[in-house]
């Protein structure tokens, strides 16, 4: 059972800023959603409909329609660790 992958325009903007080596891993993860839309390690979102998977420091956000067998990728976000960012800016 293969799902169709739909990528929204916002994702194209998100990926424009991602380095090539990370982008290749993200592309591979998105393509694998066609065969397994709920892979091991995916998390169901609590504040909105959909799921997320982690690829390195990035999160791929998507929804699944099982009736039409469509996966819609609507956002890719970088996971920032603000603690380290704040600590690195402070003088010790």
CATH code at 8?
3.30.2310.20
Mean pLDDT, to the nearest integer, of 4-8? Answer: 96
pLDDT for residue 79? 78
* Domain tally, the chain: 1
What digits encode the pLDDT tens for the residues 39-92? 999 999 998 899 999 998 899 999 999 999 999 999 999 877 654 444 444 544
Q: Which two tokens stand for residue 85?
A: 């960012």
pLDDT for residue 37? 95
pLDDT for residue 81? 64
pLDDT for residue 78? 86
pLDDT for residue 5? 97
List of residues 6+ apart from 58 with CB closer than 8 A? 18, 22, 26, 76, 77, 78, 79
Q: Residue 10's domain spans which residues?
A: 4-89
Cα–Cα nearest to 64, from 9, 1, 5, 22: 5
List of residues 6+ apart from 69 with CB closer than 8 A? 1, 2, 3, 4
């Amino acid at each position: 059972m293969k799902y169709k992958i739909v990528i929204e325009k916002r994702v194209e903007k998100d990926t424009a800023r991602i380095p090539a080596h990370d982008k290749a891993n993200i592309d591979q993860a998105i393509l694998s959603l066609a065969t397994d839309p709920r892979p091991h390690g995916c998390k169901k979102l609590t504040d909105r409909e959909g799921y997320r998977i982690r690829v390195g420091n990035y999160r791929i956000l998507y929804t699944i329609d099982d009736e039409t067998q469509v996966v819609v990728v609507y956002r890719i976000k970088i996971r920032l660790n603000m603690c380290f960012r704040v600590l690195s800016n402070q003088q010790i």
